Structure 1
Amino acid sequence: MSMTLLLKTSKKTPDDEVYELRLEEGELEELWETAVDWIQENKSPKAPHLYATVELEAG
Structure 2
Amino acid sequence: MANQLKVTLVKSVHGRLAAHKACVRGLGLRRMHSSAVVIDTPENRGMIRKVSYLLKVEEVMTPCD
TM-score by length of 1: 0.40
Greater fraction of residues in strand:
1
TM-score (norm 2): 0.38
